[in-house]
Amino acid sequence: MPTTPTSPTNPDPTPDLGPAAERMAALLSEVSDAQLSARTPCASYVLGDLIDHVDRLSHAFALAATKDVGPNDSTGPSGDASRLGPDWRSRLPARLTALAEAWRDPAAWQGMTRAGGFDLPGEVAGLVALNELTVHGWDIARASDQPYEADPATVRACMAFAAQAPAADAAAEAEKEKGLFGPVVDVPADAPPLDRLLGLTGRQPYWSPA
């Protein structure tokens, strides 16, 4: 299990999930019903499936932050558009806000917790959640033909985490088995930081649904 990355380029071991959560909410607000069947960079998911995955992981990782875990946390948050329901456009922004707020508590990053059916340190769970928001934000932007930007501090934190061992973390490995993350894609060393993060998480930075 990787440890929390700290370095001169990533000095904060407890990054703020707020910017990534806000960006995700803004992207989702622009997704039309017609786009829910669009292809995504996650080969086994259409956009509606991926949005359901984000909905479920937002709830699961908010519970992980508070250590409020139980039998309902025994399985990973796989995506299924049929579960979205008619209220997802109001439900998901609220869950994203709650997720970011839960990880602003320093205690969330301490001790052990559980998410997606795996026991893991709080410091790892927080970084997994941040990586999920950031990379899936890009996935959703690509699938719905929206621009995507991530703040530099978020990208640095995600890169430091992903570069250590993308498949060593149990939660990341489970995601890989679902087809959300794949083998590392070679990206030029001088590529923008976001593109290098995408390569580390198995994505082609110039992917498009066409």
- 137-183: pLDDT as tens digits: 999 999 999 999 999 999 999 999 988 744 444 445 554 444 346 78
Instruction: State the pTM of this model.
Output: 0.86
Cα–Cα nearest to 9, from 183, 180, 168, 152: 152
Return the minimum-mean-pLDDT range out of 31-35, 86-90, 168-172.
168-172
Q: Domain 18-200 falls in which CATH fold?
A: Four Helix Bundle (Hemerythrin (Met), subunit A) (1.20.120)
Q: Which of 57, 35, 20, 93 is nearest to 178 (CA)?
A: 57
Report how far Cα 148 is from the mean position of its chain's Cα atoms: 14
What pLDDT is attached to residue 181?
A: 66
How far apart are the C-alpha atoms of 173 and 151, rounded to whole Å? 26
Residue 118 is which amino acid?
F
Please, is 54 exposed, middle or buried when counting C-beta atoms within 10 Å of its C-beta (0-12, 13-18, 19+)? buried
Please answer whether residues 68 and 39 qualify as being in contact, where contact means their C-beta atoms are separated by less than 8 angstroms. no
Instruction: Check pLDDT > 50 for residue 71.
Output: yes
Q: Average pLDDT of 65-76?
A: 69
Percent of residues, the chain, with pLDDT higher than 70: 82
- The rounded mean pLDDT for the chain is 86
**pLDDT above 80 for 129:** yes
Six token digits for residue 64: 């992980």
Higher-scoring residue by pLDDT: 91, 163: 91
Which of left, alpha, beta for 70 (phi over 0: left; psi -120 to 50: alpha)?
beta
Asked if 17 and 100 touch (Cβ cutoff 8 Å), the reply is: yes
